[in-house]
């Protein structure tokens, strides 16, 4: 059971670090919600769903 708790802690810390990096670099993080939707979260708290054919990375 400790391994699961340790892994959950590492996952949380990784997400927290990603948020700090995004804030420092004035960018966003991308993740999948519990409902299965992919979203962008900006450092100001705005959460915007990513469209299927977004294409902004091209």
> What are the residue boundaries of the structural domains of the chain, listed by start?
2-49
The answer on pLDDT for 58 being more than 70 is no
Each residue's pLDDT tens digit, 43-56: 899 999 998 655 55
The 10 Å Cβ neighbour count of residue 14 is: 10
Q: How many residues can be counted in the chain? A: 58
Is the CA virtual torsion 55, 23, 16, 44 positive or negative?
A: negative
Each residue's pLDDT tens digit, 13-38: 999 999 999 999 999 999 999 999 99
The answer on pLDDT for 41 being more than 70 is yes
Query: In the structure, what pLDDT confidence band is assigned to residue 57 with cuts at 50, 70 and 90?
Result: low
pLDDT at residue 13, as a whole number: 96
């Amino acid at each position: 059971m400790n391994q699961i708790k340790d892994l959950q802690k590492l996952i949380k810390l990784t997400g927290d670090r990603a948020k700090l990096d995004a804030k420092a670099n004035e960018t966003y993080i991308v993740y999948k919600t519990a409902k299965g939707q992919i979203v962008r979260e900006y450092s100001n708290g705005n959460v915007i769903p990513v469209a299927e054919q977004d294409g902004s990375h091209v």
